[in-house]
Amino acid sequence: MIVSFIPILAVDVLGSVAMVVISLLSLYKAKILRGMDPDNAIFLYLLWISVGLTIFSVSRAFGHILKQFLVLTSNTDTWHAISAYSGSVNTVSFMLVGLITLFFNQNWNINEKIFSGRKKLEETHIKLMDLNQTLENKVVERTERLTSSEHKCRRIFEQSLDTILVTDAEFRIMETNPAGIALMGYDREEMIEKKMILGGFFLDSSEWEKLSEKIKFKEYILNEEAEFIRPDNESILVLITGGLDYGAFGCAKTYHFIIKNVNDKRQMEQQIAQADKLAALGELSAGVAHEINNPLGIILGYTQLLLKQEQEPENKDDLKIIEKHVQNCKTVVSDLLSFSRKGSTEMSIVDINKVVDGVVKFLSNHSDFRNIEMTLNPHKGDRLNILGNEQELSQVIINLVINACHAVDRKGNIDIVTEKTDQDKIFIRVKDNGKGVETKNLTRIFDPFFTTKPVGQGTGLGLSVGYGIIKRHQGDISVKSSKGKGTVFTISLSAVKSKA
Amino acid sequence: MPKKYWFNPGSFLRFIPVFAIASLILLPLDVYAIQIHTSSEGIITHQVGHLFFLFSMVVLIFTITGKGLNKQKGWRMIQYSAFFFVLWNIDAIIAHFLDNQICAIKIENISLTRIKLVSQNDSSVLPWLYYILKLDHLLSVPAMLFLFKGLSNLVDDQKKIIKEKASQ
d(CA A472, CA A173) in angstroms, rounded, equals: 48
Residue A53 in contact with residue A91, Cβ under 8 Å? Answer: no
With helix as H, strand as E and coil as C, how does A245-293 read? Answer: ECCCCCCCCEEEEEEEECHHHHHHHHHHHHHHHHHHHHHHHHHHHHHHH
Percent of chain B whose predicted confidence (pLDDT) is above 90 = 37
Chain B residues with CB-CB distance to A91 below 8 A = 45-46, 49
pLDDT in tens, B40-66: 777 888 889 999 999 999 999 999 999
Chain A residues with CB-CB distance to B135 below 8 A = 7-8, 11
pLDDT in tens, A350-384: 899 988 988 888 888 777 788 888 899 998 888 88
Does the beta-carbon distance from A14 to B110 stay under 8 Å?
A: no
pLDDT at A134: 93
Q: Across the strands, what pairs with B21?
A: none
Chain B residues with CB-CB distance to A11 below 8 A = 135, 137-138
Q: Which of B152, B167, B75, B166 is nearest to A33 (CA)?
A: B152
**How many CB pairs (< 8 A) connect A and B?**
146
Does the beta-carbon distance from A108 to B63 stay under 8 Å?
A: yes
Does the beta-carbon distance from B9 to A102 stay under 8 Å?
A: yes
Q: Across the strands, what pairs with A477?
A: A491
Nearest CA in chain B to A97: B53
User: Quick one: which H or E segment has residue A481?
Assistant: strand A476-482
- Closest Cβ–Cβ partner in B13, B137, B147 for A53: B147
List b or e across A361-380, with b for residues whose CB sees 16 or more CB atoms inside 10 angstroms: eebeeeeebeebebebebbe
- Pairing of β A173-176 and β A163-168: antiparallel
3-class DSSP assignment, residue A448: coil
Angle between helices B73-96 and B40-66 in degrees, nearest 10:
160
Which residue stretches of chain B are H helix? 9-26, 40-66, 73-96, 125-133, 137-167
Does the beta-carbon distance from A4 to B114 stay under 8 Å?
A: yes
> CB within 8 A of A278, min separation 6: which ones?
A446, A447, A448, A464, A467, A468
Residue A349 in contact with residue A383, Cβ under 8 Å? Answer: no
Q: How many other CB atoms are there within 10 angstroms of residue A499's CB atom?
A: 4
- Closest Cβ–Cβ partner in A2, A97, A104 for B63: A104
Among A1, A36, A119, the residue to mutate for chain B (most B Cβ within 10 A): A1
pLDDT band (50, 70, 90) for residue B28: low
d(CA A490, CA A480) in angstroms, rounded, equals: 8
Among B111, B115, B120, the residue to mutate for chain A (most A Cβ within 10 A): B115
pLDDT at B34: 64
Task: Quote the DSSP letter at residue A453.
Answer: S
User: Quick one: which H or E segment has residue A344?
Assistant: none
- Judge residue A105's burial from the number of C-beta atoms within 10 Å of its C-beta, 0-12 exposed, 13-18 middle, 19 or more buried: buried
Chain A residues with CB-CB distance to B144 below 8 A = 18-19, 22-23, 26, 53, 57
The predicted model gives B121-140 an average pLDDT of 88
The predicted model gives B2-30 an average pLDDT of 62
DSSP string, B87-133: HHHHHHHHHHIIIIIS--EEEEE-SSSEEEEEETT--SHHHHHHHHH
- Closest Cβ–Cβ partner in A3, A36, A106 for B115: A3
Does the beta-carbon distance from B135 to A11 stay under 8 Å?
A: yes
pLDDT at A8: 86
pLDDT band (50, 70, 90) for residue B1: very low
> CB within 8 A of A294, min separation 6: which ones?
none
Taking the CA of residue B94 and the nearest CA in chain A, the distance in Å comes to 16
Ordered per-residue pLDDT tens for chain A, 500 residues: 788 888 888 888 899 999 999 999 999 999 999 999 888 888 888 999 899 899 889 988 888 888 878 877 878 888 888 888 888 888 888 888 888 888 888 888 888 888 888 889 989 999 999 999 999 999 999 999 999 999 998 899 999 989 999 999 899 999 899 999 888 888 888 888 888 899 989 988 899 999 999 999 999 999 998 989 888 888 888 999 999 988 777 788 899 999 998 888 887 777 677 767 766 776 777 777 777 888 888 898 988 888 888 888 888 888 888 888 888 888 777 777 766 654 456 788 889 998 898 888 888 877 778 888 889 999 888 888 898 888 888 888 888 888 888 888 878 889 999 998 888 889 999 999 888 888 778 878 887 777 777 765 666 778 888 888 888 888 989 888 887 888 999 999 998 875 53
Does the beta-carbon distance from A30 to B151 stay under 8 Å?
A: yes
Does the beta-carbon distance from A5 to B13 stay under 8 Å?
A: no
Biggest CA-to-CA distance, chain B = 71
Q: Which of A253, A160, A259 is nearest to A201 (CA)?
A: A259
Chain B residues with CB-CB distance to A102 below 8 A = 9, 12-13, 56, 59
User: Quick one: which H or E segment has residue A456?
Assistant: none
Chain A residues with CB-CB distance to B140 below 8 A = 15, 19
- Closest Cβ–Cβ partner in B2, B50, B118 for A108: B2
Angle between helices A6-36 and B137-167 in degrees, nearest 10:
20
Q: How many other CB atoms are there within 10 angstroms of residue B154's CB atom?
A: 24
pLDDT at B89: 93
Taking the CA of residue B28 and the nearest CA in chain A, the distance in Å comes to 28
DSSP string, A381-445: SS--EEEE-HHHHHHHHHHHHHHHHHHTTTSEEEEEEEEE-TTSEEEEEEEE-SS---HHHHTTT
d(CA A469, CA A335) in angstroms, rounded, equals: 11
Taking the CA of residue A22 and the nearest CA in chain B, the distance in Å comes to 6
